[in-house]
Structure 1
């Protein structure tokens, strides 16, 4: 294992995580490497877009899907992912579905980890249809201390969105209804009368 190479790519992922921190997002960042080059980089955008699925890995996969079109599946199958924190269950499932080649992560995700901490979605035998999902190898601990420090910076600071919601005494349902109404108001009808959200 070329430690310098892995640390270089993990530092790039940490840089993406730091960008998320400046936006009051959970500071997880990632880079997808194809043939030794970074082809996609992303960080969490959950709070910014009010979309719980916009984790760094998902954002980067969507970018690759658009950038590579009908070749995206072949490219993703040869990609290595470097991500600051163990992919959550949702992201690990998505990585299995796109046949990611391998994953390196900084620190474990003891609450939601899908690559060994909570579930083992990276292992072929644990997937519902092993003939469709081949699994993927994972290695943890690359720049682990830096990844943990970055997460601690977020969790020891105040989350402005949570504080506002608590101060106003709103419950989750009210906030969700307001968010849905806001998204519909900012969307535009398509030709078939459906709505396209402008993020």
Structure 2
């Protein structure tokens, strides 16, 4: 017969519906990614977790508005210890002070300051702050403080750029939640830096937390 064109899957199936679709074309091996299945059902986070996520993003939005009031980019970020439900650092865009001080870079440096390190001072920006991680002094086996952002979550109003995304790799962030996408974004929009197998650290990324409020900031 005459040759014809058919659509085929570009990637291996991760869920049962994807497997069933791929199997219509050719024999396919399948190992279900249960986390992806749960995420697609909207069941990855419970109501209490979503409420906490909204609270943390609201803190980032407040910081972003403070940056806007200072004549800088309206971008805010918050680093959280999810295990202790503790905000470790709150930062916003400070590029009026230094061209590399994007909100994410500020937050990472503030986390380092909370651990007795850090390179810069943000005392003149009242909305930028850090809190030392809670350490259980009564438990000698609790171990040392984490390496910068190990195990921490980042909430940021706008998708991080390449520089900030690589800084998140190097600081060993655990998860990133961002509100609005960016044309220069390096996580969901371009490059997918968080999932590159040629890098020595990977992390989960979620977008769309309070997206309407974050998008509104971009239009201010």
TM-score by length of 2: 0.63
For the residues of structure 2 that align with 1:109 and 1:72, how far apart are their CA atoms?
Answer: 33
Number of the residue aligned with 2:154: 81
SS at match of 1:25: coil
Per-residue CA shift, 1:68-108, capped at 9, x if unaligned?
Answer: 03766535101100000111111000001111000000011
Number of the residue aligned with 1:121: 193
Stretches of 4+ aligned residues off by more than 4 angstroms: 70-73
Number of the residue aligned with 1:152: 219
Mark the CA change 1:95 to 1:54 in structure 2 (over 3 Å): closer, same or farther: same
Q: Whose Rg is larger?
A: 2
TM-score by length of 1: 0.69
Any conservation in 2 of the 1:65–1:72 contact (CA below 8 Å)?
A: no
Most deviating of 74-83 and 34-43: 74-83
For the residues of structure 2 that align with 1:3 and 1:73, how far apart are their CA atoms?
Answer: 25
Mark the CA change 1:140 to 1:53 in structure 2 (over 3 Å): closer, same or farther: same
SS at match of 2:58: helix
1:37 paired to 2:77: no
Number of the residue aligned with 2:60: 13
Q: Give unpaired runs (5+ residues) of structure 2.
A: 1-44, 118-143
For the residues of structure 1 that align with 2:110 and 2:78, how far apart are their CA atoms?
Answer: 11
Query: Alignment length, in residue pairs?
Result: 145
Number of the residue aligned with 1:46: 95
How far the C-alpha of 1:52 sits from its partner, in A, is 1.7
1:138 paired to 2:205: yes
Q: Give unpaired runs (5+ residues) of structure 1.
A: 154-199
Per-residue CA shift, 1:125-179, capped at 9, x if unaligned?
Answer: 2x4xx3xx221100000000100101100xxxxxxxxxxxxxxxxxxxxxxxxxx
1:102 paired to 2:175: yes
Mark the CA change 1:61 to 1:72 in structure 2 (over 3 Å): closer, same or farther: farther
How far the C-alpha of 1:63 sits from its partner, in A, is 1.4
Per-residue CA shift, 1:24-68, capped at 9, x if unaligned?
Answer: 111000110012110100000002x1x221011111111111220
Any conservation in 2 of the 1:64–1:72 contact (CA below 8 Å)?
A: no
